[in-house]
């Protein structure tokens, strides 16, 4: 038995003994924080030992297992801490109950908001028979998820496209950059929620979709513009020289050199902007909306149905992950050279 194997067994043994002892002696209630910390350290040590033994061709699978496995482990720990009475189930409902709440939200109609999380999916077969796919789309359109997603998409596109445009100009033209840079940086740090009241006043219907989408667009715009500018400015001048030397005209220079060279940084900006769009819209839905995942979450907080509130938070996180994945997928398509 070599050194590494002995260590591995030692760590696993430590893990079993630690948790066994803490449970047997009833130490979890007072020392749960220490227990969690030591557990975490031991799991890291075990994972490192295991990682060393994984053959190179299974490395990807191993890394994926770590990335997915650890969050699951966290959920299990949460569940156990609640069941063991360490965490208060009223304020920290266990994942199983949140899951049940999520299911309940999906299959039951809320009369107050006149919709549900996914918009009465139980009507899908019926609508499909009578109206076809447009009917199904209409069903989804009335849901909380779509209310939020629609605002995110609309605001993101309305903000990001001009953002890329202005960022490009600021990156390429020094005069414009010098004139706008300070203002942009100042507005960029402003919490966009703080300007929501003003934005509401601009619109004919302050309580409609307009102001909500506008604030999302504003948040996305500045982030994307600033990132695009940085992306363009950081282009190695030797690429510009090469473009010139091989006879690129202005448009060709933009299309073949500047745009692709800045694209990775632009995408980093888009990714940030998409996340920010979600954060902003959920915050706005908390205070000023009759629909949307943010509204739903806050509503269940107000009536103290915490498991449904957590379900709402979970949906927000899931949306964030899905949107980011989607954007990264598009990014990989647009930038095939970035794959390692």
Q: What is the DSSP letter of 110?
A: B
- What SS3 class is residue 115? strand
Q: What is the rounded distance in angstroms from the CA atom of residue 130 to the CA atom of residue 248?
A: 57
Residues numbered 263-282 forming contacts with another protein, rule: CB under 8 A: 263
Residue 190 DSSP one-character state: S
Task: Decide whether 233 or 256 has the Cβ nearer to another protein.
Answer: 256
Q: Based on CB atoms, which residue is closest to another protein, 220 or 263?
A: 263
Closest distance to another protein from the beta carbon of 9 (Å): 42
Side-chain-facing half-sphere of 75: CA atoms under 13 Å: 11
Using CB under 8 A as the binding criterion, the count of chain residues that bind another protein stands at 21
- Least distance (Å) between residue 336 CB and another protein: 7
- Residue 121 in contact with residue 106, Cβ under 8 Å? yes
Binding to another protein (CB under 8 A): which residues in 229-248? 236, 238-239, 241-242, 244-248
The answer to the question of residue 168 lying near another protein (CB under 8 A) is no
From residue 48 to residue 77, the character string flagging contacts with another protein as x (rule: CB under 8 A) and all else as - is ------------------------------
**What count of other Cβ atoms lies within 10 Å of the Cβ of residue 115?**
23
User: Residue 160 in contact with residue 168, Cβ under 8 Å?
Assistant: no
Structure tokens that stand for 26 in this block: 């009833």
Considering the complex, state which of residue 55 and residue 247 has its C-beta at the smaller distance from another protein: 247
- Using the minimum distance from each CB to another protein, give the nearer residue, 211 or 231: 231
Residue closer to another protein by CB (options 182, 245) is 245
42 touches 18 (CB < 8 A):
yes
Q: Which is nearer to another protein, 162 or 264 (CB)?
A: 264
| x-marked contacts with another protein along 283-312 as a string, rule CB under 8 A | ------------------------------
Using CB under 8 A, which of the segments 41-49, 177-185, 253-261, 299-307 binds another protein?
253-261
Report the residue from 14, 162, 210, 260 that binds another protein according to the rule CB under 8 A: 260
Q: Cα(140)–Cα(194) distance, rounded to whole angstroms?
A: 31
Cα separations in angstroms, 273 against 72, 300, 310? 28, 28, 24
Q: What is the rounded CA–CA span in Å between residue 237 and residue 272?
A: 26
Residue 252 touching another protein (CB under 8 A): yes
Whether 242 and 196 have beta carbons less than 8 Å apart is answered as: no
Contact assessment for residue 257 and residue 219, using Cβ atoms and an 8 Å cutoff: no
Stated as kind and residue range, the H or E segment containing 272 is helix 259-287
Shortest separation between residue 223's beta carbon and another protein, angstroms? 23
Q: In terms of CB distance, is 135 or 260 closer to another protein?
A: 260
User: Is 220:277 a contact under the CB 8 Å cutoff?
Assistant: yes
DSSP symbol at 254:
I
Nearer to another protein, 38 or 261 (CB): 261
How far is 236 from 256, CA to CA, in rounded Å? Answer: 14
Stretch that binds another protein, among 16-24, 107-115, 251-259, 293-301 (CB under 8 A): 251-259
Which parts of 148-167 interact with another protein (CB under 8 A)?
none
Closest CB to another protein among 118 and 257? 257
CB of 271 to another protein, least distance (A): 19
Task: Verify binding: residue 340, another protein, rule CB under 8 A.
Answer: yes
- Binding residue for another protein, selected from 65, 77, 261, 268, defined by CB under 8 A: 261
7: its two tokens: 């260590």
Phi, then psi, of 110 in degrees rounded to 5: -100, 115
Residues that bind another protein (CB under 8 A): 236, 238-239, 241-242, 244-249, 252, 256-257, 260-261, 263, 335-337, 340
């Amino acid at each position: 038995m070599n050194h590494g194997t002995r260590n591995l067994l030692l760590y696993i043994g430590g893990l079993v003994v630690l948790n066994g002892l803490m449970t047997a002696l009833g130490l979890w209630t007072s020392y749960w924080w220490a227990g969690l910390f030591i557990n975490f350290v031991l799991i890291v040590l075990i994972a490192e030992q295991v990682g060393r033994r994984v053959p190179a061709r299974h490395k990807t699978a191993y890394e994926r297992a770590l990335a997915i496995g650890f969050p699951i482990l966290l959920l299990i720990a949460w569940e156990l801490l609640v069941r063991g009475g360490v965490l208060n189930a009223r304020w920290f409902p266990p994942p199983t109950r949140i899951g049940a709440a999520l299911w309940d939200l999906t299959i039951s109609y809320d009369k107050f908001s006149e919709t549900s999380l996914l918009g009465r999916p139980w009507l899908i077969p019926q609508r499909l028979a009578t109206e076809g796919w447009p009917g199904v789309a209409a069903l989804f359109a009335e849901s909380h998820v779509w209310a939020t997603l629609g605002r995110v998409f609309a605001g993101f596109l309305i903000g990001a496209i001009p953002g890329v445009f202005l960022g490009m100009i600021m990156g390429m033209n020094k005069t414009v950059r010098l004139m706008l840079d300070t203002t942009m940086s100042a507005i960029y740090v402003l919490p966009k929620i703080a300007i929501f009241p003003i934005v509401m006043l601009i619109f004919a219907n302050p309580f409609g979709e307009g102001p909500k989408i506008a604030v999302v667009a504003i948040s996305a715009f500045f982030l994307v513009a600033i990132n695009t500018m940085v992306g363009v400015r950081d282009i190695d001048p030797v690429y510009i020289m090469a473009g010139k030397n091989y006879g690129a005209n202005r448009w060709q220079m933009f299309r073949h050199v500047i745009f692709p060279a800045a694209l990775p940084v632009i995408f980093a900006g888009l990714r940030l902007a998409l996340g920010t769009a979600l954060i902003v819209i959920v915050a706005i839905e908390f205070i000023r909306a009759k629909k949307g995942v943010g509204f739903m979450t806050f509503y269940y907080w107000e009536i103290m149905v915490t498991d449904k509130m957590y379900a709402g938070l979970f949906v927000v996180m899931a949306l964030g992950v899905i949107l980011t994945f989607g954007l990264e997928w598009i990014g990989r398509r647009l930038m095939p050279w970035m794959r390692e």
